Amino acid sequence: MTLLQALQSQGVGSRKVCLAIIDDGEAFIDGEVCTKPKQKVDPERVTFLFEGELCTWQERVVIMMHKPLGYECSARPQFHPSVLALLPAIYRARGVQPIGRLDVDTSGLLILTDDGQLIHRVTHPKRHVPKVYEVTTVDPITPEQLAGLMSEIELNDEPRPVHALEVALIDVYNVRLVIDEGRYHQVRRMLAAVGNRVDKLARTRVGNLSLPDDLLAGQWVAIDEGSIGLS
């Protein structure tokens, strides 16, 4: 791979833009400026400047974010800022996007990537990737409501019933819910269907990947795809 090819693979722009980065002395091999576009390189030794930020070459980007409240999981948000605004400019240029969505009033674990195959593997219904939610309810949770969450629930405009895989009562207002689908506002609609309402909602796990206690809202960290635990 040449230096030019390494930059082109990172989504920084056209061939002309990549050549300009090299000509301006903003591409580096082992920290040393390289101004030769056709220089053969080990891409993992390449760094470069993009919109004033020093970036490291990456074949694929996989990120775990602690999504804060008040952010939309969309590249074209309508009423609130996008979670993509919390990422470096280079990741937005590469087309990094959330795997599934958390609504603006839901916080917690969000995985983002530029790997289309990974997105498909996590979100395809046949994969049945479990997702864990911590739910705080408006009203006290009754035994009947817990049983209802484990039973088949008919949701409006959905082709088939849904149910929780597991339900664990934490206290009278808090429950841990495990589902393996990601339908629109599914957890909120399930609680409404059994006669309660969601006050607070956070996702804490996807597959084998759990949200670390020390990853604060708005923070993110690069992860290995294997940590999600897909088969």
Residues labelled catalytic: 103
Crossing angle for the helix pair 143-150 and 186-193, nearest 10 degrees?
A: 130
* Spatial CA neighbour of 133 closest among 105, 103, 108: 108
Q: Contact, 168 vs 176, CB < 8 A? A: yes
Q: How far apart are CA 81 and CA 75, in angstroms?
A: 9
32 Cβ contact partners less than 8 Å away, ≥ 6 residues apart: none
Q: How far apart are CA 28 and CA 132, in angstroms?
A: 42
180 Cβ contact partners less than 8 Å away, ≥ 6 residues apart: 128, 129, 130, 131, 165
Token representation of residue 53: 């930020």
Burial label, 135 (beta-carbon count in 10 A; 0-12, 13-18, 19+): buried
